[in-house]
Copies of this chain bind each other. A is one copy, B any other.
Amino acid sequence: MRQHAGELVIETPGAGLHDFTGRVAAFVRESGIRNGLLTLFLRHTSASLVVQENADPDVLADLQDFFRRIAPEGARYRHDAEGPDDMPAHIRAALTQTQLSIPVRDGRMTLGTWQGIYLFEHRARPHHRSVAAHIIGE
């Protein structure tokens, strides 16, 4: 039994869902661990992680609409020093995930056929986002 750790830096072009499944699969491969547990932890509070359908891009657009509507920029927030997109970003992050763990079998994540791993950027402008990655197994 052994473990491997690293960091994935994702450059987001602005608000939206960015598929980085390939980056995670590469991390799993380079670990050499064939069976075990992979964990991703996003080191930010105005972006988040979600597993969603990677077949129809309309799903991603509808998801973004929903989160825009439920936590809109126009609402009145105390916290607005960093701009109108800041507090909605924290709320949308609280409603989704900061962390994700996925079992690994035979060198591959046990994702379903249509599942992709997304970094959900909630800020309007491009950001550097850091994801701590960890895998344990054999």
**Residues of A at under 8 Å CB distance from B?**
1-3, 5, 35-37, 39, 41, 43-46, 50-53, 56, 58-59, 61-63, 66, 70-71, 77-79, 81, 87, 90-91, 93-103, 105, 110-112, 114-115, 130, 132-134, 136-138
State whether B45 touches A90 (Cβ < 8 A): no
* CB atoms of A63 and B110 under 8 A apart: no
Q: With the chains together, A51 CA to B94 CA distance in Å?
A: 8
Secondary structure class of chain A's binding surface, majority of residues: mixed
A37 B134 Cβ-Cβ under 8 A? yes
Question: Given contacts A39-B37, A45-B53, A102-B99, are A2 and B1 in contact (CB under 8 A)?
Answer: yes
Can you give 26 contacting A-B residue pairs, CB < 8 Å? A3-B35, A3-B137, A3-B138, A5-B103, A5-B105, A37-B39, A44-B115, A45-B52, A45-B59, A45-B115, A51-B99, A56-B81, A58-B77, A62-B91, A63-B91, A66-B71, A70-B70, A94-B95, A94-B96, A95-B95, A95-B96, A98-B100, A99-B101, A99-B102, A102-B132, A103-B132
Establish whether residues A111 and B66, one from each chain, have CB atoms under 8 Å apart when the complex forms: no
A1: chain B residues at CB < 8 Å are: 1-3, 136
